[in-house]
Amino acid sequence: MPTLSVSYEDFCSLLGERRGKEELCRKLALMGVEAEVSGEELRMEILHNRPDLLSPEGVARALRGFLGKGGGLPTYSLSPSGITVRVDPSVRGVRPFIAAGVVRGVRLSGEVVASLMQTQEKLHEFLGRRRKGSIGVYDLDTVEPPFTYTTVEPEGISFVPLDFGESLTPAQILRLHPKGREYGWILEGKRRYPLLVDRRGRVLSLPPIINSEETRVTEKTTSLFIDVTGEREREVQLGLVLMMTSLAERGFSLQSVRIRYPNRSVETPSLRPRRLELGEEEVREVLGLELGARRIASLLRRMGYGVEVRGKRLRVLAPPFRADLLHPVDLVEDVAIAYGYDRIPPRVKGVNTVGRKAWVEELSDRVRLVMVGLGFTEVMTYTLTNPGINFEMMRTKGEAVEIANPVSQELTILRTWLLPSLLQVLRSNKKHPLPQRIFEVGNVVLLDEGSETGAVERRRLGACVAGRPAGWSHVKAVVEAVLREFGIRPEVRAVEHPSFLEGRVAEFLWRGRRLGMAGEVHPEVLLHFELEHPVASLELEVEALGGEELKEGKGEG
């Protein structure tokens, strides 16, 4: 979990009152923040799903409300700065989005500077190790607006990067500067690099690598210019909101900046609250507590929400920095925190049934038995993969659910099909005799705007045959053998797919529903996976194979 360090005295100042060290740690623990004080240093472990707590100012803000000191929806005064950032069209294919804001009346003591740098570092981790959102903080008095967010050739300009004693070109920064060596791979293969410059052409930064030394923030700085650049506008906007609202907790003044894209303009940051709804019965069902709407409203206000009671329904205004709210149950969790988990009486929930496997698991077991009976060996692979394997090596394109903060560049998305994983297994087992017949019954995750979370999980059967008798006729016979075990006589329809040989791939349908597809893998795909022998594969939707007798009355088990 992310760890924050702050001086105990500074945190008490942010809190607005002095609390004993042990008592302070106990109160933080009730909020889900594990804390300890060592000497005069307060160390806190923050949950990954609460980016608003990735700064000491954010933790103090949440604790004030939890303690009943100024609860309700936090509001921040935001005035226009009159500053604009022009976005050049050339950034579109490199790093397309930027958000920016101004902070005035800044008083940067050593503790505040340390907190600012720490918050910037933690938000970088939250926004992604690929620096999908990177934050720049500059002394506004050292530059002249308006600013331009553009691109430059690798040798097209030179400036002195932060913590370096000589002027370097962007290409040299990637080779020589520590930050360039650490993050230069993000710009690898780009013909032009992103650049933020002022009216006179002075460089503010080379995103997402390094700022210029000329714009360094010091204890004499009184006005800050902050920008966030990235690949996704939502992450960019959120990073700016988190950074600026944290600084506002120290009493500094916030100002907005006009971002002028080629075809539109937007004012950033947006501090508008999000609108959510919650029902009294939803809280009772989850927590088992007889809480009325007005009591629930009072608890939510302690957790930093604005609440309007409408009978048994509550209209909730959530602060713009609460990016973790995906479902009404997240509001219920905050109700429980404010009420106190230690005050909720434990009880065994009454049930009217006995436990058993979910129907899809029973169906999956039947599929496994069929595949083993057909001479296949089961393998298990990771659900996580990367776009290179899932799309590019398969000669396809598409979108997938991305991991916000991946631990490895090899595992950045959730797979959308099983075949790439199975081909990786074949590549790892090239030394073993042929033919190789492997299968997996596993989950894939598909984007779905109509679902509650924006994605759906599907159970699939995937199988590969490498070496003779790998071919269309053989894999078609395997599919028909599997379906025959479930009483299905499918319709076979020829299709085209870039991962398979033309004329040797088809999809299978039954009662108007697509069951899956099978075919001979394209030679170019085989070369990508370093395979020297033909491979035929199939992929079927397990949940489409039947199992109605398992579903009936069983739900999800």
Q: If we measure between CA atoms, which residue out of 84, 211, 252, 223 comes closest to residue 142?
A: 223
Q: If we measure between CA atoms, which residue out of 335, 311, 444, 430 comes closest to residue 381?
A: 444
Residue ranges of alpha helices (H) inside 31-140 are 56-66, 110-127
Element (H or E) spanning 473, and its range?
helix 472-484
The residue type found at 253 is S
Q: What is the rounded average pLDDT for all residues in the chain?
A: 91
Q: Given pLDDT bands bounded at 50, 70 and 90, which one contains residue 96?
A: very high
Find the CATH number of the domain harbouring 42: 3.30.56.10
Percent over 70 (pLDDT), the chain: 96
The string of pLDDT tens digits covering residues 43-55 is 999 888 889 999 9
Are 301 and 319 in contact by the 8 Å Cβ rule? The answer is no
Tell whether the model's pLDDT for residue 261 goes beyond 70: yes
Check residue 553 and give its pLDDT: 46
Tell me which of 314, 343, 372 is where a domain ends: 343
Check residue 129 and give its pLDDT: 57
Check residue 71 and give its pLDDT: 76
Q: Is residue 53 part of a domain?
A: yes
Q: Given pLDDT bands bounded at 50, 70 and 90, which one contains residue 124?
A: confident
- Residue 340: other Cβ atoms inside 10 A: 10
How far apart CA 318 and CA 315 sit, in angstroms, is 10
Q: Given pLDDT bands bounded at 50, 70 and 90, which one contains residue 547?
A: low
Check residue 555 and give its pLDDT: 44
How far apart CA 540 and CA 64 sit, in angstroms, is 54
Q: Is residue 353 part of a domain?
A: no
The single-letter DSSP state of residue 557 is: -
User: How large is the average pLDDT for residues 185-201?
Assistant: 91
End-to-end CA distance of the chain: 33
- Ranking 93-102, 116-125, 172-181 by mean pLDDT, the lowest is 116-125
- Judgement on whether residues 158 and 304 belong to the same structural domain of the protein: no
- Judgement on whether residues 33 and 105 belong to the same structural domain of the protein: no
Residue ranges of alpha helices (H) inside 487-556 are 523-528, 548-551
User: How large is the average pLDDT for residues 237-255?
Assistant: 95
- Judgement on whether residues 181 and 296 belong to the same structural domain of the protein: no
Q: Is residue 509 part of a domain?
A: yes
Check residue 557 and give its pLDDT: 38
Check residue 524 and give its pLDDT: 97
Q: Is residue 233 part of a domain?
A: yes
Residue 218 corresponds to which tokens in the numbers above?
């010091």
Rounded to two decimals, what is the model's pTM?
0.74
Find the CATH number of the domain harbouring 486: 3.30.930.10
- Judgement on whether residues 232 and 89 belong to the same structural domain of the protein: yes
- Judgement on whether residues 260 and 279 belong to the same structural domain of the protein: no
- Judgement on whether residues 386 and 518 belong to the same structural domain of the protein: yes
Q: If we measure between CA atoms, which residue out of 191, 190, 193 comes closest to residue 208?
A: 193
Tell me which of 312, 343, 374 is where a domain ends: 343
Place of tokens 């053989």: 474
**Diameter over CA atoms, the chain:** 78
- Judgement on whether residues 289 and 337 belong to the same structural domain of the protein: yes
- Judgement on whether residues 248 and 316 belong to the same structural domain of the protein: no
Check residue 367 and give its pLDDT: 96
Domain, as residue range, for 305: 274-343
**Domains identified in the chain, total number:** 4
Q: Given pLDDT bands bounded at 50, 70 and 90, which one contains residue 127?
A: confident
Q: Given pLDDT bands bounded at 50, 70 and 90, which one contains residue 554?
A: very low
Are 309 and 301 in contact by the 8 Å Cβ rule? The answer is no
How far apart CA 550 and CA 7 sit, in angstroms, is 59
Tell me which of 248, 268, 288 is where a domain ends: 268
User: How large is the average pLDDT for residues 431-456?
Assistant: 93
Q: Is residue 515 part of a domain?
A: yes
- Judgement on whether residues 120 and 140 belong to the same structural domain of the protein: yes
Q: Is residue 557 part of a domain?
A: no
- Judgement on whether residues 333 and 451 belong to the same structural domain of the protein: no
Q: Is residue 351 part of a domain?
A: no
Tell whether the model's pLDDT for residue 191 goes beyond 70: yes
User: How large is the average pLDDT for residues 347-374?
Assistant: 87
Q: Is residue 106 part of a domain?
A: yes
Check residue 478 and give its pLDDT: 96
Check residue 188 and give its pLDDT: 82
- Judgement on whether residues 164 and 256 belong to the same structural domain of the protein: yes
Find the CATH number of the domain harbouring 167: 3.50.40.10
- Judgement on whether residues 254 and 301 belong to the same structural domain of the protein: no
The string of pLDDT tens digits covering residues 248-258 is 999 999 999 99
Check residue 556 and give its pLDDT: 43
Check residue 131 and give its pLDDT: 59
Check residue 546 and give its pLDDT: 79
Tell whether the model's pLDDT for residue 527 goes beyond 70: yes
Residue 92 neighbours by CB under 8 Å, 6+ apart? none
How far apart CA 162 and CA 76 sit, in angstroms, is 32
